[in-house]
Amino acid sequence: MKIETSKFLKFFRIALIFIFLIVIFIFIFPRPKILGDIRCEKIKETPKYCLFNCSVSLNKCGNFNGRVVVTHSGWAAVHDEILNFTCNTSFLLKLPKRDYNYIMRFGVKEAGGFDSKEEIIFC
Amino acid sequence: MSVLAFVLFLQLFFVPGIIIYWKRREISEMIVKIIVSSTLINLFSFSLILLFRNVIDLKLVFLSFIFSLFLSLFIRTLNKTKRVSIKIEKSDLWLLIFLLFSFSVNFALFLYHKSIIGADIGRFGIISHAIFLKGKFETNLKPYDMAEDFFYFPSIILFPPLFELAGIDAVTFLSFLVFFFSSLYGLPVYLISKRLFNGESALASFFFSSFFLNPLINIGFLGVFPYAISIFYFLSFLYFILEKNKDFIAISGSLIGIISFHAYLLFLLVPFLLSLSFLNLQAFSFIVNKKFWIFLLFFSSFLVPYLFKTYKSFLVSFESDKKLDIFMFSTFNRNLPLIQKLQFILFTSPIGFSKNIFLFIGFLVFLFALIKNYKKFYFGTKFLLLSFILSFFLIFASFDDMNFARSIWINWFFYSIGFALIFNDNKLNLLLLLLIAVNKMPPSLFSYFDLRPTYDKGQIPWIVWNSFYDAISFIKYNTSENSTFLIDGGGAGCTGASASYGERIFPLTSRKIFYFSDYCWARYDENEYRKRVSLYREFSINPSDEKLIKKLKEYNITHIFIGPTDVALNKSLFYNSSFYKLIYENRDFKIFEIL
């Protein structure tokens, strides 16, 4: 009986080792690389708002579903937009004038994975 | 009503456990087992009654109370452990003094700060209050919130609405719960230390873990309170599997405690189980014990009715869209260079104090303590070292994921035991306590008294301003019950908070809020979410645009709530507008009525 229990225990130990290695493997599995860069240029400023011309340039051409989010405090969005990115995509963005560093992030989904990149814009 | 809340609290965390364990164990172990088994039995009872009678009312509380009493009595008959007379020895007395002191400091922190910060608690307040107002447990929170279906861990969802029946709002109840568990955090650390090092450094372990390196209060204070509470169950489970005479009710109870508060901690159990299986295969044998699986399966069955209600969104957080939600709001730990990543994993608190000198010292002291005690406590030192190394690899590999990155708190557990192995003179430690109390060095428990609300634009303050409660009181007694508030800060991703903490208006006053969130734990109308974000942004640029005001009125918005760090809504644009009337202001908060 003791031998059987010991066999079972060794089996569970091996199972745990596998779980451990699989978890590590899943996490360190290479993620999709950042697909490009985002730049925003202020083209107009009034006492109430700033208008930016933003362009996303991808390292890889094609059609990718992506998202642009601008946060105005820790986890709160003041702008959230779904975009279809090609090699170079540009869009206009109007933000309230608050003398504040907004954080803009863009994310692109590729092959089931995703990544994101951020840019600070002042308005 | 507060008497009812007190009775309910005793029932949830004490009564069933007292029936099972009274005079069956030594004091420290008995307290942990009482709490763990009570959580288990109550979750089981509430879920079972809810399955047949989905009405959140006092009858539910009463029925589940009766059922849990019967279940406790039944389990008591199964518990063959001999009764022992409770003798308070000198070491127990020290422990009780430390425990009482820990509770006093934590309770004082609760009274002083009133609530933990809003990152998660405001959102869970919204869920609890929506369920309470609906009078039944369902995952569609409309019309009170945009979530149409969600999954979260059961204790956080099931317990708060019961306290709302007793007149205690979810924000207050959950805050108290964090401080309560924070005061008990040292107990499982004490027991583990006692088991691994023959009691030599146990009291000092309680001391250092409770008053100096207490991750539970750190994580709880600054956001993720379900994760924080789960730490207590995690360490209790660790002790129960190390115990010589295995108690399968306690093992199942603590394991289900982890799952029911924040199951992500299960992931961190792997290094400890693996270490145990390598060092003492016999101690690991609980894993093939029939009794363990019978108890675990029996008590896990409470999850069935809960999963039946929430199964559609069970793995929602792991969907790539929801993962992307998180990364659209924070990429901090994802982009760190290797050296900084190592610094963060080893020397940083989960949230708050970065690269703390005491954590660096703790790391060195831990390694020194293991070397010093290697021969004397062969199993204990080897177990801790192996667990530390395996945990490190696991955390390092998973650090990019924000949910798993919190696991770095585990270092605090190792370091506090390391400190205790070196400084194990209780009288000297009392002197140290005095020094810590006077200097209030982070991460000392006393340093949390120094947390102050921030006025930096865009920052979510750790502490809620006192003036916030004045504004809430005004809303409660001076605005119509049909009012809807547009809050500054708008909405927040996942469970985050808005900069004005305006999301708390709903759980505290029952007034609706215009809120939008790209939930990473719920299903919702994404188009509606983006529509609201867009409306909020346009409105913040020009709040006197009649077309936009008309749109706000379509959402029945009647008031604008602006906090001290007015990030998007500029106060001055409202003062000078003929479309708004200032109905309330204090130093920090302004409330405008739309005319």
Question: What is the ipTM metric for this complex?
Answer: 0.88
For A7, B191, B276, the CA distances from B283, given in Å and listed in that order, are 14, 16, 7
Task: For the full predicted model, state whether its pTM sits above 0.90.
Answer: yes
Residue A11: partners with Cβ closer than 8 Å, 6 or more residues away: none
Helix (H) or strand (E) holding A122: strand A113-122
State residue A34's pLDDT score.
60
Give the confidence band of A61 by pLDDT, cuts at 50, 70, 90: confident
The H or E element spanning position B85 is none
pLDDT of residue B85: 66
> What CA–CA distance (Å, rounded) separates B536 from B500?
15
**Beta-strand (E) ranges in B128-203?**
149-150
Does A71 have pLDDT greater than 80?
A: yes
Parallel, antiparallel or unpaired: strands B590-594 and B580-585: antiparallel
Answer whether A63's CB lies under 8 Å from A33's CB: no
| Spans of chain B below 50 pLDDT | none
The two tokens of residue B328 are 């659209």
Q: Is A110 on the interface with B (CB under 8 A)?
A: no
Q: Quote the minimal CA–CA distance from A33 to chain B in Å.
A: 12
A16–chain B Cβ distance below 8 A for any pair: yes
| pLDDT number for residue B315 | 85
In a mutational test of the B interface, the residue from A72, A99, A104, A114 whose CB has the highest number of chain B CBs within 10 Å is: A72
**Pairwise CA distance, residues B184 & B187, whole Å:** 6
Q: Looking at the partner chain, which of B329, B394, B541 has a beta carbon nearest the beta carbon of A75?
A: B329
Say how far apart CA B274 and CA B292 lie, in whole Å: 18
Helices (H) and strands (E) in chain B, counts: 28, 7
| Other CB atoms within 10 A of residue B449 CB | 15
Candidates B447, B35, B430; CA nearest to B207 is: B430
Share of chain A above pLDDT 90, in %: 19
**Cβ-defined contact of B274 to A20 (cutoff 8 Å):** yes
Distance CA A77, CA A73 (A): 8
Residue B320 has its nearest CB partner, among A6, A76, A109, at A109
Residues of B with CB below 8 A from A100's CB? 457-458, 567
Query: Contact at 8 Å (CB) between B269 and B389?
Result: no
CB contact under 8 A, A98 and B324: no
Long-range residue pairs from B363-372, CB within 8 A, at least 24 positions apart, any chain: B363/B411, B363/B415, B365/B415, B365/B418, B365/B419, B365/B422, B366/B414, B366/B415, B366/B417, B366/B418, B366/B419, B367/B418, B368/B418, B368/B422, B369/B417, B369/B418, B369/B419, B369/B421, B369/B422, B370/B418, B370/B421, B372/B421, B372/B422
CA-based nearest residue to A5, from B36, B193, B198, B286 = B286
Contacts B287 to A, Cβ<8 Å: 9, 12
Q: Per the CB < 8 Å rule, is A75 touching B459?
A: no
How many residues in chain A? 123
Q: Give the pLDDT score at B352.
A: 64
pLDDT at A112: 53
Nearest to A96 among B281, B401, B540 (CB): B540
User: Quick check: A116 and B542 CB within 8 A?
Assistant: no
Chain A environment of B323 (Cβ under 8 Å): 114
Q: Which two tokens stand for residue B232?
A: 């207590």
pLDDT reported for residue B84: 66
Let me know: does A102 contact A123? Beta carbons within 8 Å: yes
Cα gap B267→B239, rounded to integer Å:
17
Measured between beta carbons, which residues in chain A are less than 8 angstroms from residue B288?
5, 8-9, 12
Q: A13–B536: do the CB atoms touch at under 8 Å? A: no
Beta carbons of A78 and B490 less than 8 Å apart: yes
CA B469 from centre of chain: 22
Q: Give the DSSP H or E segment for B414.
A: helix B410-422
Let me know the angle formed at the C-alpha of B168 by B102 and B231, rounded to the nearest 5 degrees: 40
Three-state secondary structure call for residue B322:
helix
- Tell me whether residues A72 and B458 touch, CB distance under 8 A: yes
E strand or H helix that includes residue A118 = strand A113-122
| CA pair distance B348, B219, nearest whole angstrom | 12
Q: For residue B318, what pLDDT is reported? A: 81
| Among B281, B394, B497, beta carbon nearest to A9 | B281
Whether B324 sits inside 8 A of A76 (CB atoms) is no
- β-pairing, B484-487 vs B559-562, is parallel
pLDDT greater than 60 at residue A1: no
CA proximity to B36, closest of B225, B220, B233, B294: B233
Alpha-carbon span B377 to B428, nearest angstrom: 23
Between residues 26 and 85 of chain A, which touch chain B (CB distance below 8 Å)? 27-28, 31, 48-49, 67, 69, 71-82
Provide the sign of the torsion angle of the four alpha carbons B334, B336, B337, B342, taken in this order: negative
Instruction: State both tokens at A24.
Output: 């590590």
